[in-house]
Amino acid sequence: MSLRPILILPDTRLRLTSAPVSGVDDDIRALLDDMLETMYDAPGIGLAAIQVGVAKRVIVVDVAKREGEEEEDVKEPIFLVNPEVVKASEELSVYEEGCLSIPEYYAEVERPERVRVRYLDRLGAMQEMDADGIMATCLQHEIDHLNGVLFIDHISRLKRERVIKKFEKEARRR
């Protein structure tokens, strides 16, 4: 297992459409393990493969509560290959989102409150999961990444252009 560097806005690879995975083999499992380690290290609650420069339809999430210090080690990782939203509620909800590829910027995004997601697990078996709350938000945020979509695409154009300009300026300084 190893940590991989996370791509930061305005890296153009974040706008790629990731390709479906043809089968879950040991290489994909190694990628999933590196992604999980990278996500926990960041720390974050989700990560898409394109955020470490790999344009494959692979995500990891762990939204387990970590309120007390004692619960720091409670890990509930979920590995999703070729995830798709097969059903979304009409009811919407608003969450304050952030993204490891847009560090230290947060904004409210409105999305379906509940989703059903179909995916392959780390053994390649087809699964379906119903999610709500932060899990539903996180899954939609990650699946967006697979389509080159960032959470700032769901906010006002004024705010989006402002944050993109800020990160372009940062990138020029580095």
Question: Running DSSP on this structure, what letter comes out for residue 133?
Answer: H
Catalytic residue among 91, 142, 168, 170: 142
Which one, of 5, 2, 35, 11, lies nearest residue 164 by Cα? Answer: 11
3-state secondary structure of 85: strand
When CB distances are held under 5 to 8 angstroms depending on the partner's kind, the choice from ligand GNR, Ni ion, none that residue 44 binds is ligand GNR
**Contact stretch for ligand GNR (CB under 6 A) within 65-73, 81-89, 93-101, 155-163:** 93-101
Among 6, 52, 78, 99, binds Ni ion (CB under 5 A): 99
88, containing H or E segment: strand 78-88
Q: How many residues does the chain have?
A: 174
The β-bridge relationship of strands 58-61 and 102-112 is unpaired
- State which residue has the least CB distance to ligand GNR: 44
Name residues whose C-beta falls within 8 Å of residue 78's C-beta, 6 or more positions apart in sequence. Answer: 60, 61, 62, 129
170, containing H or E segment: helix 157-173
What is the Cα 68 distance to its own chain's centre? Answer: 24
Structure tokens at 170: 């940062």
**Contact stretch for ligand GNR (CB under 6 A) within 8-16, 21-29, 46-54, 159-167:** 46-54
* 91 classed as catalytic: no
Indicate whether 48 belongs to the interface with ligand GNR (CB under 6 A).
Answer: yes
Interface map 54-93 toward Ni ion (x if CB under 5 A) = ----------------------------------------
Indicate whether 83 belongs to the interface with ligand GNR (CB under 6 A).
Answer: no
Among 21, 35, 99, 135, binds ligand GNR (CB under 6 A): 99
When CB distances are held under 5 to 8 angstroms depending on the partner's kind, the choice from ligand GNR, Ni ion, none that residue 58 binds is none
**Cβ-contact 55, 13 below 8 angstroms:** yes
Residues recognised as catalytic? 142
Residues at the contact surface with ligand GNR, assessed by CB under 6 A:
44-48, 51, 95, 97-101, 137-138, 141-142, 145
